[in-house]
Amino acid sequence: MEQYEEGITDFSWEAYGNNVTTLIQYAWKHKSLGETIHTHSVEYEVWRYLKKSMWLIVPSFILSSILGVLKGIYDFYVKHRKLKFLGEKTTVFFLSVPDFFLLLMIQVALITLAHYGFPRISLYGSEEVSNKIVGIVFLAIYPTFYIARLTYSSLEQQSNEDYIRTALSKGTHRFKIIWTHMLSNCWLAITSHLNTIMLYILSNLFIVELITSYRGAAYRFYKALHVRGSFTVGSPQSIDTSLVIEYIIVFTGVLLIVQLFSKLAAYQLLRRGGSSS
């Protein structure tokens, strides 16, 4: 115990700064953050797993964006119709249910259906196409309903505008008004939340890859942390620091790219609106 206490040092900003400086100098000199325990370069290891995760991230981002807008339009269109229980209420329900619980329930449902003769779907692993499809669906669930709620709220704010009442008085079909006129005023609000959508996808990526044993970037990042259930005095450092730093940079970079795209899209929409006025 005394030996352990002697190894404990107080935090020092000077030591922290020296560590950061040493790391930057090493990376600049060797064009790498080092090697992993498998003798691969850190960059190779990160890219090898990142490619698998991108097969989930990109399609789920596109899918949730499209389906979310369509679901929001549907919610607004049926709010005064008999099928309104399939509209906004379902959106609110899926937004209120914890992601972890929802993913487990879907897995249990698919396993149960396969037991009764339905086609069996591979839920675990990362090599089969069905593994990627399941991961994409899981990742797209919450962002889809988030965008649906955002689209519905944007349409609802415009429902009492004068141009809406004028179009209705002229006999224009309600769906045409929504799709042609109202939706064009929603794109700015939707594009401004793209970064939030990607943040949800990346945060859920850890849950999805761990639950489905999908060997992607989030799974590898978790393993690089080497979270242990026990602690032994004198044991070596358990965290693969270089890998953790690389993955933090990569995930932050993805968010930055989406943020820049969101800002650019919003700028173009504002410019188009200003030009048309």
Angle at 132 between CA 129 and CA 136, to 5 degrees: 140
Task: State which residues form the domain around 138.
Answer: 40-276
pLDDT score for 181: 73
pLDDT score for 172: 72
* Averaged pLDDT in 10-residue chunks for the chain of 277 residues: 50 67 70 68 86 94 93 85 76 84 84 84 84 91 93 84 74 74 82 91 91 90 71 56 85 93 86 57
pLDDT score for 20: 66
Is the residue at 218 inside a domain? yes
pLDDT score for 55: 93
* Distance in angstroms (rounded) separating the CA atoms of residues 197 and 64: 9
Question: How many C-alpha atoms does 42 have within 13 Å on its Cβ side?
Answer: 20
pLDDT score for 52: 92
SS3 35: strand
pLDDT score for 238: 63
Is the residue at 77 inside a domain? yes
Is the residue at 81 inside a domain? yes
Is the residue at 22 inside a domain? no
Is the residue at 6 inside a domain? no
Number of separate domains in the chain: 1
Is residue 178 within 8 Å of residue 77, measured between CB atoms? yes
pTM: 0.80
Is the residue at 240 inside a domain? yes
pLDDT score for 95: 87
pLDDT score for 109: 86
pLDDT score for 129: 87
pLDDT score for 222: 86
Is the residue at 27 inside a domain? no
pLDDT score for 140: 93
CATH number at residue 83: 1.10.3720.10
Is the residue at 26 inside a domain? no
